[in-house]
A and B are shown apart, each in its own frame.
Chain A
Amino acid sequence: MIHLDGVTKRYGDTVAVDDLTLDVAEGEVCVLIGPSGCGKTTTLRMINRLITPTSGRIMINGQDASELKAEELRRSLGYAIQSVGLFPHLDVAANIAVVPRLLGWDKPRLRGRARELLELVGLEPEQYMGKYPRQLSGGEAQRIGVARALAADPPVLLMDEPFGAVDPLNRGRLQGEFARIQRDLHKTVVFVTHDIDEAIRLADRIAIMRDGRLVQYDTPETILDNPVDHFVRDFVGSDRALKRLVRVPVRDVMDTAPPVARRSAGAKEMLAEVGRTRFVYLVDEQGRLTGWLDRAQLKGGCTVEDALSDADPAQVAVRPDASLKEALSRMLGLGFRSIAVVESDGRLVGQVTLGSVEGAMTESDEHQGARPAEHMAEYSAEDTSDDSVLESIASDDQGDCT
């Protein structure tokens, strides 16, 4: 789909991009990563012809980019620029609709599309449609920039650090959203980031660049397992086992039948469920997570009410799109051995346990055949026998009811 062949860009004495050859297959996400000034932005700008390569050739969909009409080429490449560059004189809705307007869409369709995209990037349409760029925070502006790039549904996306200014929580959410859209729409994406976790999570292939040169271009798994040199090894970091978890979405490993009871059910029924495991999740009529019940707290004459804990799903649960790494760090942070998985509407859809995280790590180890998996498997067997649910590691608050 996108093919760069020996592309070089010189600015006087500095070589911004040096003999870069890169293939991005249709429907694939290629993530460009590397130290500041290594030529990532320059590469994107050459692809959409904002700048002309000093030498080399860029083919898009089998056509030489330099022979295409620049404006038409650019309208087919959604571009989220590094510095965002919203139009200060246009409101958010008009900013998002810039490319569809150039393509001649009618008004109702433009507004509908703006609304849809605002929802997609997690901003309340009614609240944001009429705002002007000056009234937005950096992270909000950046999300509008992403919405603008997606507006005309272009087959190719060029995204230059699209989530760089977004807070970690929303960034994780946007990454999940991006991964989800990509599963359905199969865009061809060139994505620039400084965040190796983001690269590992989203990329089909990662291109690691240094001083304008391509150092390694491989799948995230290969980059993690077989870095070509010290530079790549250092760049990826020492916690490579943990980083593999970034690749695994929670939905792939979650237990879809967690122990659960209706909050409205009688104490007896709730207790019946607790009889099987130490913890049960409590849900309301719509199946939304509202809390949990801990058997350990029932000892010593406490009532069922004492053993109930209320849950704020945003605090004690993860989304199915979250990565296992995120789930793991949330579990460790909360001191839980499992964590609930809820949809965006709060419905409980499963749980992830430490055991399943270990299982996923073991699996990827088996996959590469690097380590014997036995002792890891042992751990998980032990873990699953242990009631498997929500066991609080820090459980010193047990039984202190009176």
Chain B
Amino acid sequence: MRPSRRTPVLAAFATFVFAWLLTRTSWLEAALKWAFPTEVSWLHPRADLVSLTVEHLAIVAISSGLTVLVGVPLGIWVTRSSGRDFRQLVAASVDLGQTFPPVAVLALAMPVLGFGFKPTIVALFLYGMFPVVSSTIAGLDSVPTSTLEAAKGMGMSPMQVLFRVELPLASRIIMSGIRTSVVINIGTATIGATIGTGGLGVPIIGGLATRNMAYVVEGALPAAVLAVLIDVLLGQVEHGFAVPLQEADSA
């Protein structure tokens, strides 16, 4: 989506409406009753949607935070001369991290880390790594060699080249990778409920277990809206990184 000047206002408004709707569970129940008249119960017994959403966001924030904290430096490292030899290996590993189903990661991590929070964080952390690392590499690769040569030729130290030239120029592409990663994690985080992590996966998994479609929708709907909202908000941040270049284009 191409952000316009009105987008931030619209996004803030949509966020507010979404938060308010979460507190109106009776409305949701009425809607679900209408949609699934054959069920006997329409809201999951543990369904305080506000606290489920907060839990969900906490899971995503922690796992994505870790992904960025590890993924961006990893991407930077493999584009430096010291880490260049590991570039293929790292690219292949994060690729594998994404092809490996998160459910399988949960199953494998559980014996070690037990039930609850930790295995879910590990699974999401690995799963979200690919877009972050690959966009960091792509962003740094996109910096023109003549610009790098000039930066070095002017007498910038490697750190100065990185922070004053490469990262500012790569920031937009890196940010788009982070955004993709976060949005994927919002959806994927629902599987955490299978091992008791909480979040919006609770009604979904509960609904699947009891064949109650109303429960499934009760969790899936807010999760989907959340994903769209976060996508738009992070798009705004991404857009903010490119301000000087954008101005240059339009002038």
Which A residues form the contact surface with B (CB < 8 A)? 48, 50, 71-75, 79, 81, 83-91, 98-99, 102, 131-135, 145, 148
Contacts and interface: CB of A to CB of B under 8 A. Distances in A.
A86 B156 CA distance: 14
Given A71-B156, A71-B157, A75-B155, A81 B150 contact: yes
Nearest to A91: B244
Contacts of B169: 87-89
B248 A75 contact: no
Given A102-B154, A134-B245, A88 B147 contact: yes
Interface string B146-168: 11111111111100100001001
A71 B154 CA distance: 8
B124 to A, nearest CB: 33
B209 interface: no
A99 B152 contact: no
Interface in B182-229: none
A85 B149 contact: yes
B154 A79 contact: yes
A85 B247 contact: no
A84 B145 CA distance: 11
Given A133-B248, A134-B245, 9 more contacts: A50-B149, A79-B154, A81-B150, A85-B146, A85-B149, A87-B165, A88-B245, A102-B156, A148-B154
A50 B248 contact: no
A333 B147 CA distance: 42
Contacts of B168: 89
9 contacts: A74-B152, A74-B153, A74-B155, A85-B147, A85-B148, A99-B154, A102-B160, A134-B245, A134-B249
Given A89-B245, A91-B244, A48 B153 contact: yes
A327 B249 CA distance: 41
Contacts of A131: 248
B104 interface: no
Interface in B97-156: 144, 146-156
Contacts of B9: none
A89 B146 contact: no
A85 B249 contact: no
Contacts of A81: 146, 149-150, 153
B251 interface: yes
A134 B146 contact: no
A99 B157 CA distance: 12
A133 to B, nearest CB: 8
Contacts of A73: 155
Nearest to B169: A89
Contacts of B151: 85, 87
B164 to A, nearest CB: 8
Nearest to B144: A85
A84 B151 CA distance: 11
Nearest to A136: B248
- For the complex of A and B, list the 7 residue pairs with the smallest distance between their C-beta atoms, beginning with the closest: A85-B150, A75-B155, A85-B146, A74-B155, A132-B248, A83-B146, A79-B153
A87 B153 CA distance: 13
A87 B245 contact: no
B150 A86 contact: yes
Contacts of A72: 155
